[in-house]
Structure formats: C-alpha cells, structure tokens
Amino acid sequence: MNVVALNSALALAERGHRVDLLTRRDDPAAPFVVELSPGVRLFNLDAGPAEPVAKSEQEVLIEPFSQALARWWRSEGADVDIVHSHHWFSGVAALPIARAAGVPHLQSYHSVAAPAGAPLDDGEQPESSGRNAGERLVAEQSDGIIAVSQAEKATIVERLGAAPECVRVVHPGVNVDQFRPLRPGEPHWAWDGCYLLFAARLQPLKAPDLAVRMLAAMPAGERPRLVIAGETSADFSWYTQELRDLVDSLGLTDEVTYLGSQDRDELAAMMRGACALLNPSRSETYGLINLEASASGVPVVASRNGGMPESVIDDVTGLLLDSRDPEVWAEAVSRFTHEPEYRAAFGRAGREFALTRAWPVVAKELETIYLQEVAP
C-alpha cells in the first residue's frame, strides 16, 4: 500500500499536480513536513503515541488521527481539490473532514476484511472490531472507490454493497528503471548459481512455510538456495522462530538464507538475480511483488487466488498454481531452475507486460478519475 501511494504521488507530481501525503507520526524525531520531491510533501500528524503501533491495536487511533487531520486542514487544506484515502482506517478518519469541506472523497482498500465469523488460518489475528462496519461506511459514503484489481472490485461490490459503477480499477504500477533485468555480464546479487526469492511480510497468510516445504520436496543436491526477505510485524512476532524451526526440522538449515526487510534498491538487486519469485500467499488483492519480478525479467510462481491472475499472466509471465501441495510447487519451480531458455522466455514476456504498467501510466489513469470527480 505504501509503495502504491508514494509512487502514485510522485508520478502525479511529474504531471504537474501537487500532492500531500498525510500519515501518523510513529517516530518522535520525524519532522512535521518533508518535501519528498518537487510537488510532493509528507506530513507526520500527531495522533497517539509517536511510535509504531501493532495493526491490531490501531483502530483506537482513528479518531485522534481525524482530529489531527482537521487541524492540518485548517492550516494547510485551503487548496485541496480531492481526498484519496488508502485503507479503511484513513477513510473513516478523512471522510467527515472531506464532507465538511465539500471536497470529493475517494477510497482505496488494498485489502478487505473477511466476513464476520469466517474461520481464520492458523496464527491469524481476528479482525479489529470495527473493521467490517468501517469498510462498509466508506463504501457507502465515499464519492468513489478505486480498487487495485477486478478481483478486489468484485469483493467490494459483493461484500460491502458498493454500486459497481462507483468502483473503478487502477492496477498498481512498477518503477521499470529500478526493477529491471540483469544486464549481460552483471553479477548476481550474492550467488552465481540459481536462487529462489520469497519477499513478503513473515506471517501465516503469506505462507513462507509452503516455500520451505517446496524446497524440501526437491531432490537433495539439486535444490537452489531459498532467500527469504521480510520481517514479522508486532502482531506476528512469534512467527519467525516457527519458520526457522520448520527449516531446521526439514534439514534445510544450510539451504535457506533469512534477510530482514530490504529497501527498494536492494530488493530490486535481489530480484533481478533470482531464477524465480515465489508467491504462495493465501490471499492477495493484486500481488505487486509479482509485477516487480516481471519488470526484473524474473518468472513468478504464485497461488491462483484473488488478484494474482491480474499480476501474473499464467503460462506467459509465470505459473499460477491451484494446488498447495509442495510436490506440485517443486515440479513447477524445477523447470525454471533447470531450463535457462524456458526461464528466459518467461522473463522477456514479463518485462513486456511490466512496461505497460509503469507509474506514469498509473498516474494518467488516476488523473482521469480525479478530474472527473472535481469537474463542476
């Protein structure tokens, strides 16, 4: 979500617009305002403690953030033409401010809660108590909704009751200069041989355990290294040790490398050297990491769910799997690790696909929607 919001803002500024990003201060040293680029400012608003707060505990910060936003509006909001909220927390906070100012409010969710009472995967936290009501509120009262995929649009319409004509889809974009294929003669990020990359938050929903079990299903002596890049959030602080215990129990200790969260440049360097990106997540509204892999000329092996079929063209830029059997995953991945020409063909197709979703394309699509909303 942060990648989409930031890069959309930067690309809109390149088209001549001014964009202010508003977030909650989570570091006492963070300045009130930072100019990220010409035309883009980031404001850190005081709402709750100036420290990170677990997502499961953030609902109580909605009202303080709304109050902080109202204070900001009185000093900085005179020229605001439109408000675009990302995630339901922000939407609930910003909607009354936009309404009072007579400014259109657009909502993006990036994920929608499971229905109340739906069973949870092992280790998943229950939804915050007000999420279902909050998501429905902003669906009903916003001037429009921007979904990141057709799959998410269908969920918003069916689950939240939004009118289909009020929900427009803008697929996320990718920085095609930052995420690019490995150049001839350019060294791999860390290993000369083939390695597989899993890059996501470490939590049960993202299913790094399936990536590990897939590696164990490959014949000993033929396994590529598995690089796991990501960290747990406060809600899943226990999960890293559980994953390490699984790796050790399968005898893969020397074949798995753990890395923490990476900055965007380092992630791009890691990506372009990989033989394949693994995305076994149980649920994704789009799967931006898939598009970043394609831009890097790297094939994707992903679960077929949610918006994944919109970020991976099956059997063209990657493979979408219905099964969660590690043996099935191992067989699919083995073609990429053992057949360089097969891998290269997917990589070329992926790069072509990603070029159609560069951030300037996204900015133009957003601009069209924004101008329609503010038109008299």
Does residue 338 belong to any structural domain of this protein? yes
Instruction: State the CB neighbour count (10 A cutoff) for residue 254.
Output: 8
Predicted pLDDT of residue 129? 79
How far is the C-alpha of 308 from the C-alpha of 241, rounded, in Å? 28
Pair (246, 162) in one structural domain: no
pLDDT at 264 over 60: yes
Do 20 and 41 contact (CB within 8 A), yes or no? yes
In the predicted structure, residue 83 carries a pLDDT above the cut 80: yes
Most confident of 25-29, 191-195, 233-237: 25-29
Q: Is residue 179 part of a domain?
A: no
> Are 217 and 135 contained in the same domain?
no
Residue 121 has what pLDDT?
56
Residues 61 and 112 in one domain: yes
The pLDDT tens digits of the residues spanning 132-187 come to: 999 999 999 999 999 999 999 999 999 999 999 999 999 999 999 999 999 988 88
Distance CA 247, CA 185 (A): 33
Q: Are residues 126 and 209 in the same domain?
A: no
**Is pLDDT above 80 for 299?**
yes
Give the CATH number of the domain where residue 101 resides: 3.40.50.2000
- What is the pLDDT, as a whole number, of residue 375? 83
Asked if residue 347 and residue 370 are part of one domain, the reply reads no
Does residue 183 sit within a domain?
no
| Beta bridge mates, 34 | 42
> Residue 235 above 90 pLDDT?
no
Q: Could you tell me if 6 and 137 lie in one domain? A: yes
Provide mean pLDDT across the span 333-348.
96
- Do 17 and 149 share a domain, yes or no? yes
Longest CA pairwise span in the chain (Å): 67
Report the percent of the chain where pLDDT is more than 70: 95
- The closest of 311, 241, 313, 316 to 281, measured between CA atoms, is 311
Of the candidates 117, 112, 215, the one whose C-alpha atom is nearest the C-alpha of residue 158 is 112
List C-alpha distances in Å: 79 to 8, 69, 75, 101: 19, 15, 11, 11
Per-residue pLDDT at 124: 53
Same domain, 67 and 209: no
pLDDT exceeds cutoff 90 at 368: yes
Does residue 310 have a pLDDT over 70?
yes
Q: Is residue 187 part of a domain?
A: no
* Residues paired with residue 319 on neighbouring β-strands, in sequence order: 301
- Same domain for 204 and 345, yes or no, is yes
Q: Is residue 181 part of a domain?
A: no
Is residue 98's pLDDT more than 90? yes
Residue 114 has pLDDT above 70, yes or no: no
Residues 222 and 254 in one domain: yes
Are 102 and 231 found together in one domain? no
Instruction: Find all residues with CB under 8 Å of 184, minimum gap 6, and list them.
Output: none
| Residue 255 domain-assigned (yes or no) | yes
CB 171 within 8 A of CB 148: yes
Boundaries of domain holding 205: 195-355
Query: Does residue 368 fall inside a structural domain?
Result: yes
Mean pLDDT of all residues in the chain?
Answer: 93
Residues 348, 366 within the same domain: no
The alpha-helical segments, DSSP class H, found in 25-114 are 62-76, 88-101
Residue 126 has pLDDT above 60, yes or no: no
Pair 286, 1: CB distance under 8 Å: no
Q: What is the pLDDT of residue 197?
A: 97
Q: How many domains does the chain have?
A: 2
180 domain residue, yes or no: no
Q: Is the pTM of this model over 0.85?
A: yes
